[in-house]
Structure 1
Amino acid sequence: MSVIDAVRDRTSWSKVTDQAPTREQLVEMVEAAGRVADHSSLRPWRLIELRGADRERLGAAIAEAQGDDVPSSKPLRAPLLIAVVARHRPSGKVPYWEQEAVASGVAHMLSLLLDDAGWGVIWRTGHYTRSAAVAKAHGLGDDEQLLGWLYVGGKPAGKSAGRRKSVEGESVLDRMPTGDGDIARPAPKKLSKKQAKKARKKAAKRAKKAAKKAAKRADGA
């Protein structure tokens, strides 16, 4: 499979089996993911492997962060969780946002590698990722921020992750603004009769939905 095919086929798996890659398999993929673009080679990231009882401790920390009496069962949804941590390195030319982007790039690269290796992956976050209780559970330093977790497990046999909407490249690939301030966008692609009909139906559906919302707001006023 080519790289572009692997990227196009990647989807998030919200439900996985109890199987998971071994530490040896994971280490190899982490080494490959670490090849992501990294300004000044600061390596402003690290990953934390959570298995077994580690997930239960995380569940307790999430409960503490949310003020719940019962530990959260969310970390038990997969046999392996990989915490993604951004580490701020002192630098006069690489701002923190760029370092955090590197950490995010590593996480995405690793998710692609895991998916291509046959594992089901989903990147989960939550408002509690930046809580003191969850940071303490992961042993984070003052210069570190948690960006969430990759939940990893086996892909259930006979099931699919569901289709993901494709991106229309022409709609998001712009050009530099011209001298008069206008953005030089490419000419819109001409739609076939079938595509035009489908687009009209979608527009009508959106308009109908918007009208219903407006009516509800008016009733509640």
Structure 2
Amino acid sequence: MTAILTRRSRQTLSGPAPSDEEFCYLLSGAAAAPDHGGLRPWRWILLRDRDRETLGACLAGEVVPERQEQVARKLLRAPLVAVLVFSPNVDHKVPEWEQLAAASSMMYAMQLLLHARDYGSIWRSGRLCESTAARELLGLAHTERLLGSLDIGTPDQSERLTRRARADVSDWVSTFSAAAAAVY
């Protein structure tokens, strides 16, 4: 409960970020998220240093000249950009929507694990998810989709974060009664 109520998306991130080895270690835990059939219908592409600039230039090439610099800079907001690729097993009995739910669950588990290690992260989607050029640059198969990316790094420790209050979710829960429904 503490991890869930204290995790925040962090806009300002600097180094250090997890190494590739630490990222894989955390992913081995995140991969325990619910995944019907154990298909792991996802993969990550890690970008650091100049590789972030390459992807930024790729995305900038798809916008009007006045916005190119702004779009390119967005990929430099964190020392590690982890791109999540949805890679469904199209020949499996588990429906694609359920595989997408597994990929989403794993991503959230990764955010919680990063938070537990004092890293900050923020989920980004937008232009990256729709970019044909980024799909080509990153080598996606025709059955794969870009879901977004996690910007990962060390958050500004001077930011004071408060624990979120637990939400009143009672309006989002109901109880079914077959007797009241008189269906069968």
Query: Would you say same fold, with TM above 0.5?
Result: yes
Say if 2:6 and 2:163, in contact at 8 Å, map to a contact too. Answer: no
CA-atom RMSD in angstroms: 2.1
Say if 1:65 and 1:132, in contact at 8 Å, map to a contact too. Answer: no
Q: Percent identity?
A: 34
- List runs of 5+ in structure 1 lacking aligned partners: 182-221
* Alpha-carbon distance change, 67 to 134 in structure 1, aligned in 2, over 3 angstroms: farther
Correspondences of 1:11-22 after superposition (within 5 Å): 11-22=8-19
Deviations 1:63-104 (A, max 9, x none): 123344546110100000111111021235211111111111
Correspondences of 1:73-112 after superposition (within 5 Å): 73-112=73-112
Amino acid in the other structure paired with 2:84: V
2:181 matched residue in structure 1? 179
2:37 matched residue in structure 1? 40
- List runs of 5+ in structure 2 lacking aligned partners: none
Say if 1:82 and 1:151, in contact at 8 Å, map to a contact too. Answer: yes
User: CA–CA distance in 2 between the matches of 1:55 and 1:165?
Assistant: 36
Relative contact order higher in (CA < 8 Å, ≥ 6 apart) = 2
Residue 162 of structure 1 deviates from its aligned partner by: 6.6
1:197 matched residue in structure 2? none
Residue 174 of structure 1 deviates from its aligned partner by: 2.3
Amino acid in the other structure paired with 2:59: I
Amino acid in the other structure paired with 1:51: R
Residue 118 of structure 1 deviates from its aligned partner by: 0.1
Residue 17 of structure 1 deviates from its aligned partner by: 1.8
User: CA–CA distance in 2 between the matches of 1:118 and 1:79?
Assistant: 15
Correspondences of 1:142-157 after superposition (within 5 Å): 142-157=142-157
Residue 163 of structure 1 deviates from its aligned partner by: 6.7
The count of aligned residue pairs is: 178
Query: Which has the higher Rg, Structure 1 or Structure 2?
Result: 1
Say if 1:65 and 1:128, in contact at 8 Å, map to a contact too. Answer: no
User: CA–CA distance in 2 between the matches of 1:162 and 1:67?
Assistant: 40
1:6 lines up with 2:3 in the alignment = yes
* Alpha-carbon distance change, 82 to 92 in structure 1, aligned in 2, over 3 angstroms: closer
Q: TM-score, normalised to structure 1's length? A: 0.73
1:124 lines up with 2:121 in the alignment = no
* Alpha-carbon distance change, 140 to 24 in structure 1, aligned in 2, over 3 angstroms: same
1:24 matched residue in structure 2? 21
Amino acid in the other structure paired with 2:170: E
Residue 147 of structure 1 deviates from its aligned partner by: 0.5
